[in-house]
Amino acid sequence: MVKEQGRKVVASNRKARHDYLIGDTYEAGLALWGTEVKALRAGRCSLVDGFAQFTGGELWLEGVHIPEYTQGTWTNHAPRRRRKLLLHKVELDKIDAATRESGRTIVPLQVYFKDGRAKVEIAIATGKKLYDKRHALRERQDRREAERAMSVREHR
């Protein structure tokens, strides 16, 4: 049996970078059931409403939708069940201390396979205000226009 190498991204939360200011990022393992792994390998996952929170000293991923495996039987999983995140104790303590500050939350950025194991990239994030979002969109639009003008100038 050949072991998978590298990183295969299953799902990305692109909206998180729009809605939040991303701080420190961490790579965490996921405690999954068999049918969840098979659904992820089929490339099916949604991080749209996902977040993580501490319960009883453990970090849990909630709101992430991994649909039922199509060939699964009565052993299938619940699509939006809580999943335990696997991190070192030192990392858990850092994340816990950072999220105790007002306005900070933990959001999932990506779910991927790394060397055959399911991982999730989580970030400590601060919510953006509406004017921050508008400002970011305006900056991106200005940068695109400047690059377009430069490329037109180079082709002459």
CATH number of 70's domain: 2.40.280.10
The answer to the question of residue 108 being in a domain is yes
In angstroms, how far apart are the furthest CA atoms of the chain? 65
119: pLDDT strictly greater than 80: yes
The answer to the question of residue 39 being in a domain is yes
Model confidence pTM above 0.75: no
Q: What six digits make up the tokens of 38?
A: 């098979």
Q: How far apart are CA 110 and CA 104, in angstroms?
A: 19
Q: How far apart are CA 140 and CA 106, in angstroms?
A: 25
Residue 35: what residue type? T
- Residue 88's pLDDT band (boundaries 50, 70, 90)? very high
The answer to the question of residue 30 being in a domain is yes
48: pLDDT strictly greater than 70: yes
User: Taking residues 47-56, what's their average pLDDT?
Assistant: 84
Domain that holds residue 124: 7-128
Q: What is the structure's pLDDT at 97? A: 87
Compute the mean pLDDT over every residue in the chain, rounded to the nearest whole number: 81
Tens digit of each residue's pLDDT (9 = 90 or more) over 122-147: 998 888 777 777 888 888 898 898 88
The answer to the question of residue 42 being in a domain is yes
The answer to the question of residue 23 being in a domain is yes
The answer to the question of residue 141 being in a domain is no
118: pLDDT strictly greater than 70: yes
The answer to the question of residue 31 being in a domain is yes
The answer to the question of residue 145 being in a domain is no
When divided into structural domains, the chain yields a total of 1
Q: What is the structure's pLDDT at 155? A: 64
1: pLDDT strictly greater than 60: no
User: Taking residues 57-74, what's their average pLDDT?
Assistant: 77
